A = this chain, B = another copy of it.
Amino acid sequence: MLEERRLDVLRAIVEDFVLSNEPVGSKALAERHQLGVSPATVRNDMSALEEEGYITQPHTSAGRIPTDKGYRLFVDRLSGVKPLSRAERRAIQSFLEGAIDLDDVVRRSVRLLAQLTRQVAVVQYPSLSCSSVRHIEIVTITPVRLLFVLITDTGRVEQRVVEVPAPVDDLIVGELRGVLNAALNGRRLVDAPEAVADLSDTARPDLRPHLATLIAVVMEALVDKPEERVALAGTANLTLSALDFADTLRPLLEALEEQVVLLKLIGEVRDLDTVTVRIGQENSMDALRSTSVVATGYGRGASALGGLGVVGPRRMDYPGAMAAVRAVAKYVGDLLGAD
Protein backbone atom coordinates (compact mmCIF):
# COMPACT_ATOMS: atom_id res chain seq x y z
CA MET A 1 0.00 0.00 0.00
CA LEU A 2 3.03 2.20 -0.29
CA GLU A 3 2.75 4.34 -3.31
CA GLU A 4 5.57 6.21 -4.89
CA ARG A 5 4.62 9.66 -3.76
CA ARG A 6 4.08 8.62 -0.23
CA LEU A 7 7.67 7.47 -0.09
CA ASP A 8 8.73 10.79 -1.52
CA VAL A 9 6.88 12.50 1.25
CA LEU A 10 8.55 10.36 3.86
CA ARG A 11 11.94 11.05 2.39
CA ALA A 12 11.23 14.76 2.33
CA ILE A 13 10.15 14.65 5.96
CA VAL A 14 13.27 12.81 7.02
CA GLU A 15 15.54 15.11 5.10
CA ASP A 16 13.93 18.25 6.41
CA PHE A 17 13.80 17.02 9.95
CA VAL A 18 17.43 15.98 9.91
CA LEU A 19 18.35 19.47 8.86
CA SER A 20 16.07 21.50 11.05
CA ASN A 21 15.33 19.31 14.06
CA GLU A 22 11.82 20.67 14.00
CA PRO A 23 8.58 18.88 13.24
CA VAL A 24 7.82 19.43 9.58
CA GLY A 25 4.40 20.45 8.34
CA SER A 26 2.54 19.88 5.15
CA LYS A 27 2.82 23.39 3.83
CA ALA A 28 6.57 23.71 4.25
CA LEU A 29 7.01 20.31 2.66
CA ALA A 30 4.99 21.11 -0.43
CA GLU A 31 6.92 24.30 -0.87
CA ARG A 32 10.48 23.18 -0.26
CA HIS A 33 10.31 19.98 -2.25
CA GLN A 34 8.95 19.64 -5.74
CA LEU A 35 6.19 17.23 -4.95
CA GLY A 36 3.85 18.69 -7.51
CA VAL A 37 0.86 18.49 -5.24
CA SER A 38 -0.87 20.76 -2.80
CA PRO A 39 -0.41 20.79 0.95
CA ALA A 40 -3.80 19.18 1.38
CA THR A 41 -2.71 16.16 -0.58
CA VAL A 42 0.48 15.97 1.39
CA ARG A 43 -1.65 16.00 4.51
CA ASN A 44 -3.53 12.96 3.33
CA ASP A 45 -0.30 11.13 2.69
CA MET A 46 1.06 12.14 6.04
CA SER A 47 -2.06 10.91 7.68
CA ALA A 48 -1.59 7.54 6.02
CA LEU A 49 2.09 7.43 6.91
CA GLU A 50 1.21 8.13 10.50
CA GLU A 51 -1.42 5.41 10.43
CA GLU A 52 1.23 2.96 9.32
CA GLY A 53 3.64 4.11 12.00
CA TYR A 54 6.32 5.78 9.91
CA ILE A 55 5.89 9.24 11.34
CA THR A 56 4.36 10.72 14.43
CA GLN A 57 3.19 13.97 15.95
CA PRO A 58 4.82 15.30 19.09
CA HIS A 59 1.43 16.81 19.88
CA THR A 60 -1.72 17.75 18.09
CA SER A 61 -1.32 20.63 15.71
CA ALA A 62 2.38 20.18 15.34
CA GLY A 63 4.25 18.88 12.32
CA ARG A 64 5.41 15.29 11.96
CA ILE A 65 8.69 13.67 12.83
CA PRO A 66 9.92 10.29 11.64
CA THR A 67 9.67 7.27 13.93
CA ASP A 68 12.35 4.61 14.14
CA LYS A 69 10.28 2.66 11.66
CA GLY A 70 10.24 5.66 9.37
CA TYR A 71 14.01 6.04 9.48
CA ARG A 72 14.31 2.33 8.85
CA LEU A 73 12.23 2.55 5.70
CA PHE A 74 14.15 5.63 4.65
CA VAL A 75 17.43 3.81 5.02
CA ASP A 76 16.24 0.62 3.37
CA ARG A 77 14.47 1.99 0.38
CA LEU A 78 14.99 5.61 -0.18
CA SER A 79 18.51 6.77 0.26
CA GLY A 80 20.64 6.26 -2.73
CA VAL A 81 24.30 5.83 -2.03
CA LYS A 82 25.50 9.36 -1.72
CA PRO A 83 28.97 9.45 -3.22
CA LEU A 84 31.52 11.44 -1.30
CA SER A 85 32.59 14.74 -2.68
CA ARG A 86 35.92 15.08 -4.37
CA ALA A 87 37.18 17.10 -1.45
CA GLU A 88 36.16 14.41 1.00
CA ARG A 89 37.92 11.70 -0.95
CA ARG A 90 41.02 13.79 -1.06
CA ALA A 91 40.77 14.44 2.65
CA ILE A 92 40.55 10.76 3.40
CA GLN A 93 43.49 9.94 1.26
CA SER A 94 45.80 12.64 2.51
CA PHE A 95 44.72 12.02 6.06
CA LEU A 96 45.48 8.36 6.03
CA GLU A 97 48.43 8.02 3.75
CA GLY A 98 50.80 9.73 6.17
CA ALA A 99 50.37 6.95 8.69
CA ILE A 100 53.22 4.61 9.40
CA ASP A 101 52.21 2.82 12.49
CA LEU A 102 49.12 0.77 13.23
CA ASP A 103 48.33 3.08 16.10
CA ASP A 104 48.69 5.93 13.72
CA VAL A 105 46.32 4.42 11.20
CA VAL A 106 43.67 3.78 13.80
CA ARG A 107 43.97 7.16 15.45
CA ARG A 108 43.87 8.97 12.17
CA SER A 109 40.92 7.07 10.82
CA VAL A 110 38.83 7.47 13.92
CA ARG A 111 39.39 11.20 13.91
CA LEU A 112 38.75 11.39 10.24
CA LEU A 113 35.49 9.55 10.58
CA ALA A 114 34.38 11.78 13.42
CA GLN A 115 35.19 14.83 11.36
CA LEU A 116 33.47 13.65 8.20
CA THR A 117 30.26 12.64 9.89
CA ARG A 118 30.24 15.06 12.78
CA GLN A 119 29.35 12.16 15.01
CA VAL A 120 31.11 10.01 17.52
CA ALA A 121 33.40 7.60 15.69
CA VAL A 122 34.60 4.19 16.79
CA VAL A 123 37.36 2.16 15.17
CA GLN A 124 38.32 -1.27 16.36
CA TYR A 125 41.91 -2.41 16.23
CA PRO A 126 42.41 -5.46 14.04
CA SER A 127 41.30 -8.49 16.01
CA LEU A 128 44.14 -10.54 17.32
CA SER A 129 42.43 -13.78 16.45
CA CYS A 130 42.15 -12.84 12.78
CA SER A 131 45.76 -11.75 12.56
CA SER A 132 48.84 -13.80 11.96
CA VAL A 133 51.81 -14.05 14.25
CA ARG A 134 54.93 -12.30 13.11
CA HIS A 135 56.97 -12.60 16.24
CA ILE A 136 56.67 -13.53 19.88
CA GLU A 137 59.01 -12.10 22.43
CA ILE A 138 59.29 -13.11 26.07
CA VAL A 139 60.80 -11.02 28.82
CA THR A 140 61.32 -12.23 32.34
CA ILE A 141 59.98 -9.85 34.93
CA THR A 142 60.31 -12.11 37.92
CA PRO A 143 60.88 -15.86 37.83
CA VAL A 144 57.13 -16.40 38.02
CA ARG A 145 55.99 -13.48 35.89
CA LEU A 146 56.69 -13.31 32.22
CA LEU A 147 55.86 -10.56 29.81
CA PHE A 148 54.75 -11.81 26.43
CA VAL A 149 54.89 -9.46 23.50
CA LEU A 150 53.03 -10.58 20.44
CA ILE A 151 53.59 -8.82 17.15
CA THR A 152 51.11 -9.43 14.37
CA ASP A 153 51.20 -8.94 10.65
CA THR A 154 48.87 -5.98 10.99
CA GLY A 155 51.50 -4.27 13.07
CA ARG A 156 49.67 -4.65 16.30
CA VAL A 157 51.83 -5.15 19.33
CA GLU A 158 50.07 -6.88 22.15
CA GLN A 159 51.54 -7.38 25.57
CA ARG A 160 50.41 -9.68 28.30
CA VAL A 161 51.79 -10.40 31.71
CA VAL A 162 51.48 -14.05 32.56
CA GLU A 163 51.90 -15.65 35.95
CA VAL A 164 53.46 -19.05 35.59
CA PRO A 165 52.89 -21.86 38.06
CA ALA A 166 56.55 -22.59 38.72
CA PRO A 167 59.66 -20.40 38.50
CA VAL A 168 61.42 -20.41 35.16
CA ASP A 169 65.00 -19.63 34.23
CA ASP A 170 66.51 -18.10 31.13
CA LEU A 171 67.10 -21.48 29.59
CA ILE A 172 63.46 -22.36 29.61
CA VAL A 173 62.43 -18.95 28.45
CA GLY A 174 64.81 -19.24 25.54
CA GLU A 175 63.46 -22.62 24.64
CA LEU A 176 59.91 -21.44 24.90
CA ARG A 177 60.60 -18.46 22.72
CA GLY A 178 62.22 -20.69 20.17
CA VAL A 179 59.51 -23.27 19.88
CA LEU A 180 56.67 -20.76 19.97
CA ASN A 181 58.15 -18.66 17.22
CA ALA A 182 59.00 -21.65 15.11
CA ALA A 183 55.53 -23.07 15.43
CA LEU A 184 53.49 -19.94 15.16
CA ASN A 185 55.33 -17.69 12.78
CA GLY A 186 52.99 -16.74 9.98
CA ARG A 187 50.04 -18.61 11.41
CA ARG A 188 46.80 -17.08 12.43
CA LEU A 189 46.20 -16.84 16.11
CA VAL A 190 42.96 -18.80 15.95
CA ASP A 191 44.95 -21.73 14.63
CA ALA A 192 47.52 -21.42 17.37
CA PRO A 193 46.14 -23.97 19.84
CA GLU A 194 46.32 -26.86 17.41
CA ALA A 195 49.68 -25.71 16.10
CA VAL A 196 51.19 -25.94 19.54
CA ALA A 197 49.20 -28.95 20.67
CA ASP A 198 52.06 -31.42 20.85
CA LEU A 199 54.83 -28.92 20.48
CA SER A 200 56.65 -29.71 23.66
CA ASP A 201 57.42 -33.16 22.25
CA THR A 202 59.94 -31.65 19.91
CA ALA A 203 61.80 -29.85 22.65
CA ARG A 204 64.59 -31.11 24.82
CA PRO A 205 63.18 -33.99 26.83
CA ASP A 206 64.11 -32.60 30.23
CA LEU A 207 62.17 -29.42 29.56
CA ARG A 208 59.06 -30.98 28.15
CA PRO A 209 56.78 -31.09 31.18
CA HIS A 210 57.62 -27.56 32.03
CA LEU A 211 57.09 -26.32 28.52
CA ALA A 212 53.77 -28.05 28.21
CA THR A 213 52.27 -26.19 31.14
CA LEU A 214 53.85 -22.95 30.03
CA ILE A 215 52.39 -23.27 26.60
CA ALA A 216 49.00 -24.00 28.05
CA VAL A 217 49.16 -20.90 30.20
CA VAL A 218 50.26 -18.72 27.31
CA MET A 219 47.64 -19.98 24.98
CA GLU A 220 45.00 -19.29 27.52
CA ALA A 221 46.21 -15.74 27.97
CA LEU A 222 46.63 -14.95 24.29
CA VAL A 223 43.91 -16.94 22.60
CA ASP A 224 41.09 -17.48 25.04
CA LYS A 225 41.15 -13.96 26.37
CA PRO A 226 42.16 -11.99 23.36
CA GLU A 227 42.21 -8.35 24.24
CA GLU A 228 40.29 -6.35 21.75
CA ARG A 229 40.87 -2.64 21.58
CA VAL A 230 39.00 0.28 20.16
CA ALA A 231 39.65 3.93 19.55
CA LEU A 232 37.05 6.61 20.04
CA ALA A 233 36.82 10.18 18.78
CA GLY A 234 34.38 13.01 18.39
CA THR A 235 32.56 12.88 21.69
CA ALA A 236 32.56 16.66 21.44
CA ASN A 237 30.10 16.21 18.59
CA LEU A 238 27.55 15.00 21.08
CA THR A 239 27.14 18.55 22.28
CA LEU A 240 25.73 19.32 18.85
CA SER A 241 23.04 16.75 19.51
CA ALA A 242 22.51 17.61 23.14
CA LEU A 243 18.88 18.37 22.40
CA ASP A 244 18.33 14.96 20.89
CA PHE A 245 19.54 13.20 23.99
CA ALA A 246 18.57 15.20 27.05
CA ASP A 247 18.80 12.85 30.02
CA THR A 248 20.14 9.97 28.01
CA LEU A 249 23.38 11.85 27.46
CA ARG A 250 25.08 10.76 30.64
CA PRO A 251 24.46 7.03 30.32
CA LEU A 252 25.47 7.31 26.71
CA LEU A 253 28.80 8.92 27.56
CA GLU A 254 29.36 6.33 30.24
CA ALA A 255 28.69 3.55 27.80
CA LEU A 256 31.06 5.04 25.25
CA GLU A 257 33.82 5.01 27.84
CA GLU A 258 33.41 1.29 28.32
CA GLN A 259 35.59 -0.66 25.97
CA VAL A 260 33.37 -3.65 26.59
CA VAL A 261 30.28 -1.90 25.33
CA LEU A 262 31.98 -0.59 22.24
CA LEU A 263 33.41 -3.98 21.43
CA LYS A 264 30.05 -5.62 21.77
CA LEU A 265 28.62 -2.98 19.52
CA ILE A 266 31.22 -3.34 16.83
CA GLY A 267 31.23 -7.10 17.13
CA GLU A 268 27.59 -7.21 16.16
CA VAL A 269 27.94 -5.25 12.99
CA ARG A 270 31.31 -5.96 11.47
CA ASP A 271 30.15 -7.55 8.27
CA LEU A 272 32.34 -6.79 5.35
CA ASP A 273 30.65 -5.34 2.27
CA THR A 274 27.56 -4.33 4.21
CA VAL A 275 27.07 -1.11 6.06
CA THR A 276 24.83 -1.98 8.97
CA VAL A 277 22.45 0.59 10.36
CA ARG A 278 20.87 0.21 13.77
CA ILE A 279 18.20 2.72 14.56
CA GLY A 280 17.12 3.53 18.10
CA GLN A 281 15.35 0.58 19.65
CA GLU A 282 17.00 -1.77 17.21
CA ASN A 283 20.15 -1.50 19.28
CA SER A 284 20.69 -4.28 21.73
CA MET A 285 22.18 -2.15 24.46
CA ASP A 286 20.07 0.09 26.63
CA ALA A 287 22.38 3.06 26.57
CA LEU A 288 22.22 3.11 22.78
CA ARG A 289 18.47 2.88 22.49
CA SER A 290 18.23 6.58 21.83
CA THR A 291 20.99 6.57 19.23
CA SER A 292 21.62 5.24 15.79
CA VAL A 293 24.69 3.29 14.83
CA VAL A 294 26.16 3.09 11.36
CA ALA A 295 28.96 0.58 11.10
CA THR A 296 30.74 -1.95 8.97
CA GLY A 297 33.71 -4.26 8.94
CA TYR A 298 37.04 -3.69 7.29
CA GLY A 299 39.67 -6.00 6.00
CA ARG A 300 40.85 -7.95 3.02
CA GLY A 301 39.39 -11.14 1.77
CA ALA A 302 36.65 -13.09 3.45
CA SER A 303 36.84 -12.36 7.15
CA ALA A 304 36.79 -8.94 8.75
CA LEU A 305 39.89 -7.77 10.56
CA GLY A 306 37.83 -5.41 12.63
CA GLY A 307 34.95 -3.01 12.56
CA LEU A 308 34.36 0.70 12.55
CA GLY A 309 31.42 3.04 12.61
CA VAL A 310 29.71 6.05 14.06
CA VAL A 311 27.21 6.62 16.84
CA GLY A 312 24.85 9.55 16.72
CA PRO A 313 21.32 10.75 17.23
CA ARG A 314 18.58 8.97 15.38
CA ARG A 315 18.15 12.25 13.57
CA MET A 316 21.22 11.55 11.50
CA ASP A 317 22.30 12.09 7.94
CA TYR A 318 22.19 8.40 7.13
CA PRO A 319 23.28 8.56 3.50
CA GLY A 320 26.22 10.74 4.43
CA ALA A 321 27.24 8.63 7.39
CA MET A 322 26.93 5.41 5.42
CA ALA A 323 29.07 6.78 2.63
CA ALA A 324 31.74 7.99 5.02
CA VAL A 325 31.80 4.75 6.97
CA ARG A 326 32.08 2.71 3.83
CA ALA A 327 34.83 4.88 2.39
CA VAL A 328 36.93 4.92 5.53
CA ALA A 329 36.50 1.18 5.97
CA LYS A 330 37.74 0.63 2.46
CA TYR A 331 40.85 2.73 2.99
CA VAL A 332 41.62 1.21 6.35
CA GLY A 333 41.10 -2.29 5.01
CA ASP A 334 43.48 -1.62 2.15
CA LEU A 335 46.09 -0.13 4.43
CA LEU A 336 46.04 -2.93 6.96
CA GLY A 337 45.43 -5.76 4.55
CA ALA A 338 48.30 -4.70 2.31
CA ASP A 339 51.12 -4.79 4.80
Contacts and interface: CB of A to CB of B under 8 A. Distances in A.
A139 interface: yes
A255 to B, nearest CB: 9
A160 B238 CA distance: 33
A159 B151 CA distance: 10
Contacts of A73: none
Contacts of A160: 101
Given A161-B101, A235-B257, A236-B253, A149 B151 contact: yes
Given A236-B250, A239-B250, A249-B239, A159 B161 contact: no
Contacts of A141: 155, 339
Contacts of A257: 233-236
Given A236-B254, A250-B239, A253-B239, A149 B161 contact: no
Contacts of A100: 161, 163
Contacts of A149: 137, 149, 151, 157
Contacts of A134: 139
Majority secondary structure, A binding face? mixed
A147 interface: yes
Interface string A250-265: 1101100100000000
Contacts of A300: none
Contact of A253 (B139, B155, B161, B235): B235
A149 to B, nearest CB: 6
A135 interface: yes
Nearest to A249: B239
Contact of A235 (B135, B137, B235, B240): B235
Nearest to A259: B107
A236 B134 CA distance: 39
A339 B140 CA distance: 13
Most B-side CB within 10 Å, residue of A159, A233, A234: A159
Interface string A296-336: 00000000000000000000000000000000000000000
Given A103-B159, A239-B249, 11 more contacts: A100-B161, A100-B163, A101-B160, A147-B155, A149-B149, A149-B157, A235-B235, A235-B253, A236-B251, A236-B254, A239-B250
10 contacts: A100-B163, A135-B137, A137-B137, A149-B149, A149-B157, A157-B159, A234-B257, A235-B257, A238-B253, A240-B250
